[in-house]
Amino acid sequence: MANREKRRLKMSKIVIYYSLEGSTELVAKKIAEKLNCDVLKIETKKKYIVKGFFKFVHAGGDVFMNRKPELKPYDFDGTKYDTVIFATPVWASNFVPAFKTFIDANKETLKDKHFSIYTGFLGGGAEDAAKKMAEYLGIEKFENHLILVDPIKKPNNDNDKKIEEFCNLLG
């Protein structure tokens, strides 16, 4: 077994996710279950509108205005983990603003980690969202990237297979 593989077997992992309507939460929990790892849901103090036109105005506005919403309290000790898997919906070809707040608050303990990402979307932009989040984290790119079209609104029989393959890459 290669040294990298041995090291990965001993890694402590966490899935950190934000979910507005439940789709990202569904996938994040499946990943955490398959990897038998910790999971952390981050939530904003201010609730976003989840229906209709104003959902896109409100959420998209936070992306375009580069806002960093205040988060509800959460328990995270980044020193416990070697691998961090982010799970984010795609908003306007970007990751959700809540992760900017989270990353800023945990910048020091997120250094020198292995990073992977899941991006879920309805309208595209998953690659751009991952690239922007990698830049925000100060890394070149994510080691692994799982992309699914909204698994609740657009179920696909291949989704579980894609999740399994993603998790296999993480060890």
Q: What is the pLDDT of residue 156?
A: 85
Nearest-angstrom CA–CA distance, 125 and 88: 12
Whole-structure pTM value: 0.86
Residues of the chain with pLDDT under 70: 1-11, 48-66
To the nearest 10°, report the CA torsion of 41, 45, 50, 54. Answer: -140
Distances (CA, A) of 8 to 2, 4, 52, 83, 146: 10, 6, 43, 9, 19
Tokens standing for residue 70: 């205040």
Is 16:87 a contact under the CB 8 Å cutoff?
Answer: yes
Q: What is the pLDDT of residue 59?
A: 55
The answer to whether the Cα torsion of 59, 64, 65, 70 is positive or negative is positive
Q: What is the pLDDT of residue 65?
A: 61
> Directed axis angle between helix 159-170 and helix 23-35, to 10°?
50
Longest dimension (CA), the chain: 53
